[in-house]
Structures are given as structure tokens and as C-alpha cells.
Amino acid sequence: MGAGGPLRVNDRLVLPADDLRAEFARSGGPGGQNVNKVETKVVLRFSIPRSRALDESQRERLRGRLASRITVSGEILVRADRFRDRARNLEDARTRLADLLAAALVIPKVRRASRPSRGSVARRLDAKRRRSITKRERGGGDE
């Protein structure tokens, strides 16, 4: 089934419409008789291995970060049944998939070890010295 047009994940990645597959099913929850007749629940499928929009480094990053959400066949499934309208559920699923992929594709900033400045080391040692003197001068009696 169609899943709408292309999906913009971030500034550099747009998934073509044919990389996404939407399936519709009857949804539970409130809705009266309508719930039993209309297929408003959306299951949006995105296949990582078959996507033409991803390069190999992006595929690896997605496999690593979203390992618990990926099926055996390499698909990410997003279910949406929050609304009673199929179009709103489809848009909700598309938005959630885009957010999920965008968050997983962020390259974490490299942590570089830093050293405290000479001044901060001197202040810390001076404070320790003063505290030590204070405690030493308290001195208890020989009781």
C-alpha cells in the first residue's frame, strides 16, 4: 500500500516513497461500531537493507542504534493507532519514523579528555589546606 510521498528525515536524508510500505488494519479502542468496519491502524515498514537512500555507514549506524527495533528481515516497524482517522495515523507513523531515524543517525561528538587549569588546581589545593588547618586546630582534649 502507499505510504504517502517522500519522507524528509533530516537536512541530508530524504527517503523516497517506494522505500516505505504502509499496511492498514482495524484498530482497537474507542470508536463505536466504526472500529469494527474501518481499517484506521497503520503499520509503517521501512527496510534498511533495501533502501536506496542510505549509504553503508548510515545502515551500520541504524543497525547498531536500533537493534532492538529491527525485525529479522531488517525492517523497522512503526505502529500508529492513536487517532480515529487513517490519514492522521499515517502522518503520525511517518513523523515518528522520521524522528526515530534522525535520532539514530546523529553522530555523537567525540569526547576529548581535558585537564584542569593550573589556577583551578591551585584553588582546590589551597581550599584543602585551609580545611586541614581548621580541623587540626579544633583538636580535642585528652579526655
- CATH number for the domain harbouring residue 38: 3.30.160.20
11-30 pLDDT, tens digit per residue, is: 788 888 888 888 888 877 66
Distance CA 39, CA 12 (A): 34
Q: Per the domain annotation, does 143 fall within a domain?
A: no
Q: Per the domain annotation, does 122 fall within a domain?
A: no
Q: What pLDDT shows up at residue 141? A: 59
Q: Per the domain annotation, does 47 fall within a domain?
A: yes
Q: Per the domain annotation, does 2 fall within a domain?
A: no
Q: What pLDDT shows up at residue 112? A: 92
How many Cβ atoms are within 10 Å of 6's Cβ, its own excluded?
Answer: 14
Please tell me whether residue 13 adopts helix, strand or coil conformation: coil
Distance CA 75, CA 81 (A): 19
Q: How many domains does the chain have?
A: 1
Q: Per the domain annotation, does 31 fall within a domain?
A: yes
Q: Per the domain annotation, does 128 fall within a domain?
A: no
Domain membership of residue 34 as a residue range: 7-105
